[in-house]
Amino acid sequence: MGRVIAVANQKGGVGKTTTAINLAASFAAAEVKSLLVDCDPQANSTGGLGFPRDPDRFSTYHLLLGEAKAEQAILATELEELRLIPSHKNLIGANLELVSVEGREFRLRNALEFIRNQFDFIVLDCPPALDLLTLNALVAADSVLVPMQAEYFALEGVSELLDTIDRLRQSFNTALRIEGVVLTMYDDRTILSQQVTQELKKHFGEKLLQTIIPRNVRLAEAPSFGKPALLYDVRSRGAESYIRLAKELMGSQVTHEIPDPANK
């Protein structure tokens, strides 16, 4: 049975999509069957894997509205073991269209049920809001991975997310776990990053993952080539760090970050 990981943080631009794409790709590169589900109307995961906009293609929208089965929406990607369920901006309408539907929080969970056993990992890229789309992702997930930047007010937003997860556990999905908090766009040269990291360690303890994602221009460039970083520049620090994150989540040994100034 596939492990479903929702990548969520209601704050915008913290690295959810970059994490979702590169984590799913790193699982696939380790020859683990992985599926990325784009749950965001911005469709950045879809574009980042090289799929142009196409309103006629089956997408997460059709899954939530019950107009398509998950297997009809699955697309093959450049990586043998990576599949994608794309999104489209019409997904924004699902928030309203589902508002009076009974069991509206369970639509994605139900849609993925039939294909879960075909994958080892299913990664859900959430929008920057605690809306019905993110709720659907959290109810469908076994665990939540929270990307966060090491900046001063980061904790304030995350406590709201953690409160939501607590409430959700009680009302819908009692088994939802915190997979971990991953620091993104990290700049180890600043004292502030180091101070904030110490604070986050105190706050999250073991939930703060060992792997830290550095700020790396290759990670920002890769989506415009429609590729995960490991197909764009596998030796970049960005690609390497996501490979390490995937290993950490798969339960392998990880070594601590050793910054290599020779790397890009």
Ligand X SMILES: Nc1ncnc2c1ncn2[C@@H]1O[C@H](COP(=O)(O)OP(=O)(O)OP(=O)(O)O)[C@@H](O)[C@H]1O
Whole-angstrom distance, CA of residue 71 vs CA of residue 11: 31
Q: Which residues 127-146 are close enough to bind ligand X by CB under 6 A?
A: 128
Q: How far is the CB of 85 from ligand X (least distance, A)?
A: 17
Q: Which partner from the list ligand X, Mg ion, none does 228 bind, CB cut-off 5 to 8 Å by kind? A: none
Q: Under the criterion CB under 6 A, does residue 66 sit at the interface with ligand X?
A: no
> Toward ligand X, which CB reaches closer, 39 or 249?
39
| Amino acid letter, residue 252 | S
Q: Under the criterion CB under 6 A, does residue 44 sit at the interface with ligand X?
A: yes
Q: How far is the CB of 198 from ligand X (least distance, A)?
A: 20
- Range list of H helices, 106-153: 107-113, 132-140
Tokens representing 81?
């073991």
Q: How far is the CB of 182 from ligand X (least distance, A)?
A: 10
Distances (CA, A) of 121 to 35, 141, 254: 6, 11, 19
- Range list of H helices, the chain: 16-29, 44-48, 60-64, 70-73, 94-97, 107-113, 132-140, 154-171, 191-204, 217-221, 229-232, 237-249
**Applying CB under 5 A, which residues contact Mg ion?**
16-17, 44
Of positions 29, 38, 40, 68, contacts ligand X by CB under 6 A: 40
Of positions 5, 6, 8, 16, contacts ligand X by CB under 6 A: 16
Q: Which partner from the list ligand X, Mg ion, none does 185 bind, CB cut-off 5 to 8 Å by kind? A: ligand X
Cβ count within 10 A of residue 155? 15
Q: Under the criterion CB under 6 A, does residue 14 sit at the interface with ligand X?
A: yes
> Toward Mg ion, which CB reaches closer, 101 or 129?
129
59 touches 45 (CB < 8 A): no
Q: Which partner from the list Mg ion, ligand X, none does 13 bind, CB cut-off 5 to 8 Å by kind? A: ligand X
* Binding stretches for ligand X (CB under 6 A): 12-18, 40, 42, 44, 128, 184-185, 213, 215-216, 219-220, 238
